[in-house]
Amino acid sequence: MENFPYSSSNPNPNFIDASENFDLSDYNYLFVDDGSSDDFLSQNEIVQSVSDSSGSYSNNPTPTSHNIKCMKGVKRVDAKSRVAFRFRSDLEVLDDGFKWRKYGKKMVKNRSNPRNYYKCSSGGCNVKKRVERDNEDSTYVITTYEGIHNHESPYVIHYTQFPPNNSALHNLCL
DNA sequence: CGGTTTTGACCTGCGC
DNA sequence: GCGCAGGTCAAAACCG
């Protein structure tokens, strides 16, 4: 688990050691929508298509660039960066070092679990994230980040090759 | 008491 | 234009 982004010395008092709480062998996918292409899949299309191909990564427990799925799909609506994770967890919200304020909850059609909406609570930062449980396997949580933080994390986050920062995630896919 | 969560209402885009 | 679905707002409740 040495390649996981956060070290055990993270000073964030609320930090959850992901290596203890998440089974990274069940880490499935990541997609990045960096706004640089005119062609984007909708979020649901990406979720579906990556879920379909998740088996090819299931035997690789380490989240390296090798098992990160980068996709650019069919129709871009805006130029916001969007990053999604799907991971197995009992927890609804992964503590990524930033402070989030919940502003909405919505039942989505054909999904058994509600979708929760969060905004970065740092003033002037418009990054949003959506959190929902996988419709087909509720032990998985799907987290979608939208936008790029215009500030540093309120906590010192140590990471190696899998940073929680959107632009850094994007770099992995270049 | 201030920040966060809850939740119904409202807004907006899209398909028909 | 209408209805539906997804996303956001905002007031009240909650909590440390």
**Can you give the pLDDT at residue A125?**
80
Among chain A residues 56-85, those with CB within 7 Å of any atom of strand C:
none
C1' (C15) to CA (A34) span, angstroms: 38
pTM: 0.63
Q: How far is C-alpha A33 from the geometric centre of its chain's CA atoms?
A: 12
The reply to whether A103 has its C-beta less than 7 Å from any atom of strand B is: yes
Average pLDDT over residues A145-159: 65
List all residues 6 or more positions away from A126 whose beta carbon is below 8 Å from its beta carbon.
A119, A120, A147
Q: Which residue has the higher pLDDT, A173 or A18?
A: A18
Average pLDDT over residues A84-90: 75
Lowest mean pLDDT among A20-29, A43-52, A157-166: A43-52
In this structure, what DSSP letter does residue A52 have?
H
Q: Which residue has the higher pLDDT, A157 or A88?
A: A88
Q: What is the CA radius of gyration of chain A?
A: 15
* Residue at token pair 């000073």: A11
The reply to whether A101 has its C-beta less than 7 Å from any atom of strand B is: yes
Average pLDDT over residues A115-128: 84
**Can you give the pLDDT at residue A53?**
36
**Can you give the pLDDT at residue A43?**
38
**Can you give the pLDDT at residue A149?**
76
**Can you give the pLDDT at residue A152?**
66
What is the Cα–Cα distance from A86 to A93, expressed in whole angstroms? 12
The reply to whether A75 has its C-beta less than 7 Å from any atom of strand B is: no
Q: Which residue has the higher pLDDT, A108 or A123?
A: A108
What is the Cα–Cα distance from A148 to A125, expressed in whole angstroms? 8
**Can you give the pLDDT at residue A102?**
93
Lowest mean pLDDT among A64-78, A84-98, A112-126, A147-161: A64-78
Q: Which residue has the higher pLDDT, A141 or A153?
A: A141
Which positions of strand B lie within 7 Å of protein CB atoms? 3-9, 14
**Residue A60 contacts residue A67 (beta carbons within 8 Å):** yes
The reply to whether A121 has its C-beta less than 7 Å from any atom of strand B is: yes
The answer to whether residue A138 scores a pLDDT higher than 70 is yes
Alpha carbon separation from A52 to A2, A63, A73, A173, A174 (Å, rounded): 28, 18, 15, 20, 23
The answer to whether residue A123 scores a pLDDT higher than 50 is yes
Q: Which residue has the higher pLDDT, A103 or A43?
A: A103
The answer to whether residue A103 scores a pLDDT higher than 90 is yes
The reply to whether A104 has its C-beta less than 7 Å from any atom of strand B is: yes
